[in-house]
Amino acid sequence: MSRLPIDGSFGEGGGQLSRYAVALAAISGRPLYLRNIRARRAKPGLMAQHLTALRAAAEVGGGLLEGAELGATEIYYEPGRIRGGEYHFDVGTAGSIVLVLQGLLPVALHADGPVHLSITGGTDVRMAPPVDYLRLVFLPWLVRMGVRVHMESLRHGYYPKGGGLVQLQVEPCSSPRPLLAEAPGALQRISGVSHVAHLPLHIPERMAAAASAVLADFDAVQIETRVLGDTEAFGTGGAIVLTAETENSVLGAATVAERGVPAERLGEDVGHSLRAELNAGAAIDIHACDQLLIYAAQARGISRFAVRKVTEHTRTVIWLVEQFLPVRFSVEPWQGLYRIEVSPG
């Protein structure tokens, strides 16, 4: 079978496209030639976290990955047999564990047996979802689709050294249930977690208070505040993750603590992000949307869900998935939102 050429600069053109391209090649059995990797970025080519993600997906997916080195702008991947078993991957920096899993989980679901993953790196880093977003928002959506994933966040890790540790147990599920989420239903509760490591307690308290103030006209907001010690975290850092649970959905918003950025601003930002989803009446938040598309594309039926905005990430993933899988996407305005429909080919 000839290699499928994919332009890594298409659309959003970032690391997500590269991670999903290798994952989709493994799932579909289609050989891949990926070129122009992150071509429009200030530092084009593969960085440490991208490299780990591609190597991890290729290792679980079997086959042969060529050209995957730091700074590489093109790679070749010949898929093989996707195997269950135990795997350990180390980003080697504070590169995001969650982004590594973004390309690894879809492959693991096609393994010939359970997959046990142990990944070290950054759990709460800029330009990536914090690990608590994965735990509180993204994985619950997969559970609704019939996917069985058990995750333990054993140690948090931050920029610049990483050192976080996350373990997962993944049961095979090559054809999940359709994702149906058009109307969120009544709000049940807003909760979350605001944490720091090796920093004063007043910082997560201030983040939580600012977020709660933005959401004050909703029912009582309950945000847990925590300070992590030596056994729970490596280095200093923090994050705040909020969830809004409704009758039919879970919406999330998150941000990572940054040196020099006031705790109040971080809390306000994440509060306004969640408020935007609630005010719009969305059933899936804009960040979960692009991450769930690859699973909806493999479902054994039609998926439909409503989002408040179609991001460039989402449009890029739609284009990429259609290159590999026999699936049709439709995106159309619907009741002040956008409805995305995913139909098996």
Q: Report DSSP letters for 46-62, one per residue.
A: --HHHHHHHHHHHHHH-
Pick the CATH number of 4-180+284-344 from 2.60.40.1180, 2.40.480.10, 3.65.10.20, 3.40.50.300: 3.65.10.20
For residue 200, the Cα-to-chain-centroid distance in whole angstroms is 29
Identify the DSSP state of 79. -
* Tokens 């914090």 found at: 130
Angle between helices 202-214 and 263-280 (to 10 degrees): 30
Is the pTM higher than 0.85? The answer reads yes
Beta strands in 159-200 (DSSP E): 164-170, 180-181, 187-197
Neighbours of 158 (CB within 10 A): 26
Answer whether 293's CB lies under 8 Å from 168's CB. no
Answer whether 325's CB lies under 8 Å from 106's CB. no
Spatial separation of the C-alpha atoms in residues 285 and 336, rounded to whole Å: 15
Spatial separation of the C-alpha atoms in residues 278 and 35, rounded to whole Å: 39
Q: Facing residues of 246 across strands?
A: 187
Identity of residue 269 = D
Answer whether 277's CB lies under 8 Å from 285's CB. yes
184-280 classified as CATH 3.30.360.20: yes
pLDDT in tens, the chain (345 residues): 799 999 999 999 999 999 999 999 999 999 999 999 999 999 999 998 899 999 999 999 998 999 999 999 999 999 999 999 999 999 988 899 999 999 999 999 999 999 999 999 999 999 999 999 999 999 999 999 999 999 999 999 999 989 999 999 999 999 999 999 999 999 999 999 999 999 999 999 999 999 999 999 998 899 999 999 999 999 999 999 999 999 999 999 999 999 999 999 999 999 999 999 999 999 999 999 999 999 999 999 999 999 999 999 999 999 999 999 999 999 999 999 999 999 997
Residue positions annotated with a catalytic role: 313
Answer whether 307's CB lies under 8 Å from 286's CB. yes
Rg of the chain over all Cα atoms, to the nearest angstrom: 19
- The structure tokens listed for 169 are 């147990």
Ordered by start, the domain boundaries in the chain are 4-180+284-344, 184-280
Express each pLDDT in 7-16 by its tens digit: 999 999 999 9
Spatial separation of the C-alpha atoms in residues 289 and 96, rounded to whole Å: 19
Identity of residue 114 = P
Express each pLDDT in 3-51 by its tens digit: 999 999 999 999 999 999 999 999 999 999 999 999 999 999 999 889 9
